[in-house]
Amino acid sequence: MTRIAETLTGVRATTPLVHCMTNTVVPEITANVLLAVGAAPAMIDLPEEAEIFAGIASALLINVGNGSAEQHAGMRLAAPAAAAAGKPWVLDPVAVGGLPVRTQLARDLLVHRPAAIRANASEVLGLAGTSAGGRGVDATDEVDAAVDTARQLCADTGAVVAISGPTDVVVSDGRVTRVTGGHELMPLVIGTGCALGATVAACLAVAESEADRHDAVVAAHALFGAAGLVAARGATAPATFRTLWLDALHTLTPAEVEELVTVEED
């Protein structure tokens, strides 16, 4: 069994509890995706509760898109709480670079050493301060333009950095992995990228060591890419794609995931 299959099997076998501090646009699709892949979602934003729950959950997602002042306060408490409890947490720096409040928040949270950063190319560049970010949540930079910056973020924070695009690129210390799958309809469905961040957290929850985290992040991207390919076979437009994609996330076996996507090491 490969590392991708081991990770996906582990998620189904253990049902990791993922604490999602995410933006107001995507809680429903994020929760549905986590249930489909075999994890358990929890949405807890109240600062006093978020700090406690971050140490209880299997993993934490912090998605800085369209949050409130109260949620941001909770994020500032939850990230160090997860780190102190030895729980992996994922930073999704949505639209960072062009918007000052979320940009500062995301940069401040880096000190708590996320296990992974999941973003598009413009968000990776914006997080590092080498770009003003993209067009809202959409990237205006090519994936390869952010690879060197991802390497530096990895060196500075210890995080595995995943850059989403037509081919996703996962970067960690000494490794670069490219995952090709998905479909052009996927960006037309709200919340697919944000739900990917939550699935990365679920996969990290079953990684047995920090050395396994790169493969866990690759596994999450492979599952999403494979489900996109399967959904596209029967989809005629975004609404049908969304339903078929969610079903594929639930029904695909780890072996089928590996057969459908292309995974290459640089």
Q: How far apart are the first and last CA of the chain?
A: 22
43 is in an annotated binding site: yes
**Residue 57, both tokens:** 């959950």
The b-or-e profile of 85-119 (16+ CB within 10 A means b, else e) is eebbbbbbbbbbbbbeebbebbbebbebebbbbbb
21 is in an annotated binding site: no
118 is in an annotated binding site: yes
151 is in an annotated binding site: no
Query: Which residues does the annotation place in the binding site for substrate?
Result: 43, 191
What residue numbers does the annotated binding site cover? 43, 118, 164, 191
Binding-site sequence positions for ATP: 118, 164
